[in-house]
Every structure is written in C-alpha cells, then in structure tokens.
Homo-oligomer: A and B are copies of this chain.
Amino acid sequence: MTRIAIIGAGPSGLAQLRAFDSAARKGEEIPEIVCFEKQEDWGGIWNYTWRTGLDEYGEPVHGSMYRYLWSNGPKEALEFADYSFEEHFGRPIPSYPPRAVLWDYIVGRVSKANLRRHIRFSTPVREVTYADGKFTVTVCDLANDHTYCEVFDYVVVASGHFSVPNVPYFPGLEKFPGRILHSHDFRDAAEFAGKRVLCVGSSYSSEDIGIQCYKYGASEVIFSYRTSPMGFELPDAFSELPLLLKVEGKLASFKDGTQREIDAIILCTGYQHHFPFLPDDLRLKTKNRLWPLGLYKGVVWEQNPQLLYLGMQDQYYTFNMFDAQAWYARDVIMGKTPIPSLEEMQADSQSWREKEEASDGASYDIDYQCAYIRDLLTLTDYPDFKHEIMAEQFKEWKHHKEENVLSYRDHAFPSVITGNTAPIHHTPWMEALDDSLEAFLKNK
C-alpha cells in the first residue's frame, strides 16, 4: 500500500489529513498516512507554549506565539471552506479572535473527523533520504528516547516557516545590559511594563509586539526600519527610526544620527525556512516571498514530485490556502491530477515568479495570491470559497489599519461561507486584556 509521511501537524499538516479524509468519506481508497509532529499536541504555531529556546526534550521550541496575541487579520479571510466558524462555535463570533480561539477552531475540524489517530506526537523527523523510489524517514520518539526509520512513497513537508528565527547581529549587542530577544521568544508583554522597548523590524511582528508592549505598560516603543517606516499614526509613546547601527551600553544609535536610551531589544526580524532533516537535493531554499522557486503550483518539488511542500509562501491567505494546496497535493499523490514534464513545471513556476516580481504593493500581492488560489481550485475539488471577495476583505483590512492600527480589530466582516456578518466584540481591543477563549466567547 502507498505510504505517505506528513511532517508537521499544524494548519498545513492537518489540512493534508483533512484532504485525504475528505476523499475517504467519498468512498475513495486512500493511502496509509503517518503524520510526525515534534510537539506533544497539534496546531503547530497556534499551540501556545510558555517555553522558549529548547523544550523539555532538548529540541528547539516550535512555537512563536505570545500571550495576548489576537488574530491580526479578519477571521473571515482565513475561514475553512468546509468548516465555518459558525459551525464550530455554534453561533457567529467577532472577526478578530485571540489565539486560543483560532487554535480551538483549527483543531476542532480534525478532532471531529477523528484524525488524531494518524499523528505520532513528540516525534521530530531527524532525516529524510531518497533512494530507489522510496523515502527513508528517520525520526525520534522523544518520550521513549527511541530513534527509528520507516519507508514511505511520498513525503509532505508541512513544518512551517515561522518557527526558526532570523537573528541579525548589531554591534554592541554582546554588551547590552538588558534583555535581547527575537520575537520568536517573546511571550509576555507584561515583562516590559515601564520599559523603553526597541523593536527592530517594520513588518507584522514588530507592529503587533510593539503595540502589545504599549498595551501592557511599556513606557516607550521605538520601531526601527531598514527600508521604510510603517507610517501608522500612533500615540506619543511610539516613534519610528531608521535602521539600528549599534548599541553602547543602553544607548542605541540609528542611521539618521538619532540616539535613544533603551531597556530591551526585541528583534522582530522574521523567520528562516529551515529543514535540517532534508538533504541538499530535496531541500527548499528560499526567503519568505510569495513565489519560492522549485515548487510546481507552489506545492510539488519539481526535481522529485514524490516530495511535496505546503504553506511555504508568504501569506495573505492562510488556512484556506493551505487547504487548497493540500487538496491538490492529495490529488497528485493519488494520481488524480497529472504532473507535466520538468520543463513544463519550471516554465509554469517561472511565469508565476515573473508576475510576482512585477508587484507594485500590497494590493497587487493580494490579487496575486488570489489568482494563485483560483489556479489551484481549477485543479482540485476543494469547495470554492469566494476567495475573490476575501481579497477585497484583505484590502479593507489594510485600509482599517491605516485608519487606526490600535482599533482595526474592532471592525466586523461578513463570512463568505455563511453569509452572516460577525458581531462587534463586547470590549474594544485596546481594553481587552484577558485573551482567554472563555473571556472572548462570553456575553458581556
């Protein structure tokens, strides 16, 4: 029987399990599936941990989530086509849920479908090799400190790319008398109450963590950008400065000559695609972008179509895009969708790359990823989820942020799946300090 290894039980890996389950429920015969998950529970980065650095088994901590993290995009734009928020929670809920609510939603779908049985938890993949048409996957069963190998016909890499930090050096960091951390290790904004915090970076992590720190009492937040400022209108406690050049004691110097005293440095400098378990010829090498090369339809490893990758793109669309990819991957594996020649695959990828490079900004990028999903949907039977309407929601969300980045989460969107509009949350986001599922769902 054909055997499939899925590496990772986060949103992408769980989408792959769901995709096969969907075929099985239609009476199709599906392959044997083993999903290897390094964490002790599912949900990928949505599975919060207080741990940082290395975990209880000495393995790198996967999670980059922090307390008080709320969705930074409307949930209507990430809704599963085959499992609405309303189906999961039994009623409409507001558009910007905290982490615990999204985790509950992601795992709820696969839990109800009884898919946990496919997953071997606390089992990181150590090595994947390919020979004679088969993959040998070496894993470690951490709980029993037992390393073993199994053989598979296909491997689906769904290990994510927001768990291994990109950590640059700046002169003087080695003598800075305060905490230095990457956003990957950020856990609790309360630690920075009363402090002057420098957030290096000008993308989503920096924006959200800087605002969290302010929300929970930081006295000052400085954003440092390499290319261009975020440009939001923010209270006086915030400032935006160009690139950090060096620190001397607590004094930070920036490219425009400005100097500021700071107490803590948070490097919000992004993540690496990191696959220490893959050999050179199977390993995707890319930075975070909309079209990494080497993956046909963003999914199939062109040099060896028995290897597939999910969710490796920079993302506007998330959960439902992973679904579309996983449904397509399933059809490739089950032979329902033919794969063209290497040359044709590369030509197709190259044309996507060229379109990616013609981008003139966020609006273009949203439409680009929308078109990519449209392409995937023509190839598989994942339900159409009106992703064009979602593209307009993304643009509206961008606009809300420009209006007020502290209150954009107070807006509500209609679900393209159910047609219902979300209720307004009982508490404005800046005043909502309790991020628990219970507090979010209760009627105030």
Q: Is the CB of A274 within 8 A of B167?
A: no
User: Which of B54, B67, B138, B167 is close to A60, meaning CB atoms less than 8 Å apart?
Assistant: B54
Evaluate contact between B191 and A58: CB separation under 8 angstroms.
Answer: no
> A346-363 vs B: 1/0 string, CB under 8 Å?
000000000000000000
Binary CB contact string for chain A from 69 to 104 against chain B (1 if under 8 A, 0 otherwise): 000000000000000000000000000000000000
Does residue A179 face the partner (Cβ distance < 8 Å to B)?
yes
Interface set, chain A 119-170, CB cutoff 8 A to B: 126-127, 138, 140, 145-148, 164-169
- Asked if residues A276 and B55 are in contact (CB atoms below 8 Å), the reply is no
Among residues of B, the one whose C-beta sits closest to the C-beta of A250 is B190
CA distance A213 to B201 in the complex (A): 31
Known: A145-B285, A280-B146, A285-B145. A176 touches B60 (CB 8 A): no
Which residues of A168-211 have CB atoms within 8 Å of chain B's CB atoms?
A: 168-169, 173-182, 184-185, 187-188, 190-191
Q: Decide if B53 touches A185 in the complex (CB within 8 Å).
A: yes
Contact A53 B182 (CB under 8 A): yes
Tell me the smallest distance from the CB of A121 to a CB of chain B, in Å.
16
Q: Does B50 contact A164, Cβ atoms closer than 8 Å?
A: no
Chain B: which residue is nearest A187 at the CB level?
B180
A370 on the interface (CB 8 Å rule)?
Answer: no
Does A51 sit at the interface, judged by CB under 8 A?
yes
How many of chain A's residues have a CB under 8 angstroms from any CB in B? 52
A254 adjacent to chain B (CB < 8 Å): no
Is A238 part of the binding interface, using a Cβ–Cβ cutoff of 8 Å?
no
Which residues does chain B contribute within 8 Å of A276, judged by CB atoms? 58-59, 126, 140
Hey, which chain B residues are within 8 Å of A280, CB to CB? 145-148
Check if B52 sits within 8 Å of A185, measured CB to CB. yes
Residues on B with C-beta less than 8 A from A165 are: 53-54, 58
Query: Given A127-B127, A190-B177, A280-B146, are A61 and B53 neighbors across the interface (CB < 8 Å)?
Result: yes
* CB pair A184 B54 closer than 8 Å: yes
* Residues in B neighbouring A59, C-beta threshold 8 A: 276
What CA separation (Å) do A60 and B54 show in the bound complex? 8
Contact with B along A272-306 (1 / 0, CB 8 A): 10101011100101000000000000000000000
Q: A56 within 8 Å of B by Cβ?
A: yes
Min CB gap A49→B, angstroms: 8
Asked if A48 lies at the interface with its beta carbon under 8 angstroms from chain B, I say yes
Residues of B within 8 A of A182 (CB): 53-54
* A178 contacts across to B, CB distance below 8 A: 188, 190-191
The smallest beta-carbon distance between A62 and chain B, in angstroms, is: 11
Partner of A179, one of B55, B179, B274: B179
List, sorted by A's number, 8 A–B pairs whose CB atoms are closer than 8 Å.
Answer: A50-B174, A50-B180, A53-B182, A54-B184, A127-B127, A127-B138, A145-B285, A146-B280
A residues neighboring B (CB under 8 Å) = 48-56, 58-61, 67, 126-127, 138, 140, 145-148, 164-169, 173-182, 184-185, 187-188, 190-191, 272, 274, 276, 278-280, 283, 285
